[in-house]
Amino acid sequence: NAGVTQTPKFRVLKTGQSMTLLCAQDMNHEYMYWYRQDPGMGLRLIHYSVGEGTTAKGEVPDGYNVSRLKKQNFLLGLESAAPSQTSVYFCASRTRTRGNIQYFGAGTRLSVL
């Protein structure tokens, strides 16, 4: 079991470039989440999904899009990267059972110049 795998681990973009972050989980979890972590702030929810084919906005969704075409994958897209999107991005997943803990990926460090 790999758990939750994020790719890539590091990326540097120029302003205006696009990219997709991939999150893959092999635990058959229904729920998946994308967070960003910035200095001095708690983890903030960008988008989440409660099942294949469904997505919902979180606390800070602007500038990001997501897709959940397969249950095991949750993609986070930046269509036109901005320096304000420089952050560490974490993916997490959990089962549908109420209250179950979230399992996190190792994170993706993104710099937008």
Measure Cα distances from 39 to 36, 42, 97, 98, 102 in Å: 10, 8, 32, 30, 22
Q: Say whether residue 31 binds another protein (CB under 8 A).
A: yes
Q: Which of residues 69-108 bind another protein (CB under 8 A)?
A: 88, 90, 92, 98-104, 106-107
Contact residue for another protein among 34, 48, 64, 74 (CB under 8 A)? 48
Q: Say whether residue 61 binds another protein (CB under 8 A).
A: no
DSSP state of 41: S
DSSP conformation letters of 49-95: EEETTEEEE-SS-TT-EEE-SSTTEEEEEESS--GGG-EEEEEEEE-
* Binding window for another protein (CB under 8 A); candidates: 13-21, 33-41, 62-70, 71-79: 33-41
Residues contributing to the site for another protein (CB under 8 A): 31, 33, 40-45, 48, 50, 56, 58, 88, 90, 92, 98-104, 106-107
